[in-house]
Each structure stands twice: as structure tokens, then as C-alpha cells.
Amino acid sequence: MTDPSSSTDEAPALFVADGDHFVPTHRSRGPWSPTSLHGGSVAALVTRGIEEHAGADELQLVRVTVELLRPVPLAPLSVRCSLARPGRKVRLIDAVVEAGGVEVAWARALRIRRSPDEQLAVPSVPEDDAPAPPGYGVLLSTGVEGYRALHNEGMELRFVKGRFGERGPATAWFRLRYPVVLGEEPSPWQRAVAAADFGNGVGAELDFGSSLFINPDLTVSIHRPPVGEWVCLSSRTRFGTPGIGATESELWDEHGRIGRAVQNLLVELTT
């Protein structure tokens, strides 16, 4: 099995397939530790496994919930999927991510049958607050601080409201610069979940230098898969009981609203 510290680390992807395992590159790392993966990388990899397990049929993936059981290490990972609820119209798929035989993440996905006719239901109130397109956004500096990771090398960010490092709600467009798995085109769902885990950083209400606001989970609900490479998050964080918060993100593509993501937060002051 490939050592992540070898030349695999420079591969132009978040992960490299190695038999039944996926070896993470530096581009999959997260902001909290150089030895742990970004939740978006893990979510994208597990979504890939769910899509592969489901195959091609008349059902559409509409929700993925990822439970991050512990920091996911910079080590080869395996993804194991199983059908939890069979059905013609509604199905559930469960997934387990392991590192060295230890379970590091769980996931559950909901799939719903697409209507055989092409008639679309139309909401009574149309969306009228679409964000400016990515071309109008401010490119986040790609300078690498500390170490190379998903947030500073693997993903392109363009802010149309707010800025990274500024407190408060913000809106930003995201585009994966690299495939999730080397040699594969990322699916729309993989692009969406990789971006969705950035919500607590985009809509941060606390300072990164003095606080931790880590999400042990991520739920992404999409009524229409994104079209194109860009996914937009309009994110806001709220706090409740001391030590607990939540970030909600509206999800968009360049054609309109596609869904919502929610992250529950463990909040700790470090200074």
C-alpha cells in the first residue's frame, strides 16, 4: 500500500486509489491539523462510494449525512457501503469509512425515485435573492500559510459577500481545483458536499486564532444536483447552549437554488 508521504502526495487529486484503499494527498487536509483531513474531502470520498454502490437507476441522491467520529487521519482509507432500506421509491444507503481498521466516519444517504413524467412542480413563491455569479467574486488569496490543504490549494474560493477572516454571514463560490479521486471527473454531488463543509469557516462568528468551532457532522440536502463546476454557499452561524452552535448554508449553482447544508458545532475558546 502506498505511503502518503511518497510521490503519491503530489498527485493532482484529493485521493489516489490503491486497490481497495484511497490514499489522501496533502490537498485533502483540513484547517485544524496538518495530520487530519478536511471534512469536505471525507464527505466527497464517501459520497463517491455511495454513488458507486447505488449504480445507475431511476432514483436520485437527495441527502447525505456524514458523522465524523474522530479526526480522520492522513492515512489510507477504505469506504464500505450497504443498502440499509430497500425500496422502489425510497432507499437508504449506509457507509463506513475506516483507517487502519478503525471506523473514523459514518454516513447515511437518502435516494428518492425521479418521476417518470417530465412535469415539474413549481413553488408558489420563486427565489429572488440569488447571489452574484462567481465572476463577480473576490478571489481568496491562494497563498499557502502553514501547510498545503484543501482550503488553500484544493479549492478555489470567490467571495461575493463578506470575507474570510471577517465575522458574520458570508457568501462565496467554490470550485474544486482537482478531482476527488485521481483520474475521475467529480460528480455534481461530490462537488456540492466538498464545498458544503466550508460553511462554518465562511460564516464564522469567532476568531480562528482564539477559538475552535469544529463540526462533528455535515448534512447536505439537495433537490437538484448542481450544474457546472461552481457551488455557492450563503452561510450563517448561530450559537445556543454554551459550547454548542450550528451553521446553516444555502446552496446554489449558477442556475439557482439547489439545497441546504447544516453543520452542528463543538465550540471551544482556546485563549
pLDDT tens-digit profile of 197-206? 999 999 999 9
Predicted confidence band at 29 (pLDDT cuts at 50, 70, 90)?
very high
What does the pLDDT read at residue 245? Answer: 96
70-105 pLDDT tens trace: 999 999 999 999 999 999 999 999 999 999 999 999
Q: Give domain status of residue 47, yes or no.
A: yes
Residue 260 lies in a domain: yes
Residue 123 lies in a domain: no
Q: What is the pLDDT of residues 199-247, one digit of tens each?
A: 999 999 998 878 889 999 999 999 999 999 999 999 999 999 999 999 9
Instruction: Give the pTM.
Output: 0.92
Q: Does residue 239 sit within a domain?
A: yes
The mean of the pLDDT values for the chain is 91
CATH number (domain holding residue 158): 2.40.160.210
C-alpha distance from residue 214 to each of 31, 103, 127 (Å): 10, 19, 31
Can you give the residue range of the structural domain that contains 66?
Answer: 7-115+135-269
- Whether 4 shows a pLDDT value over 50: the answer reads no
CA–CA separation, 187 and 179 (whole Å): 9
Decide if 130 is inside a domain.
no
| C-alpha span between 214 and 266 (Å, rounded) | 5
**Per-residue model confidence (pLDDT) at position 2:** 40
Cα–Cα distance, 116 to 38 (Å, whole number): 38
8 CB contacts (<8 Å, ≥6 apart)?
2, 16, 18, 23, 25
Among candidate residues 246, 256, 199, 245, the one with its CA nearest the CA of residue 222:
256
Is residue 52 in some structural domain? Answer: yes
Q: Is residue 54 part of a domain?
A: yes
125 assigned to some structural domain: no
The number of folded domains in the chain is: 1
Query: In terms of Cα–Cα distance, which of 248, 259, 204, 203 is closest to 226?
Result: 259
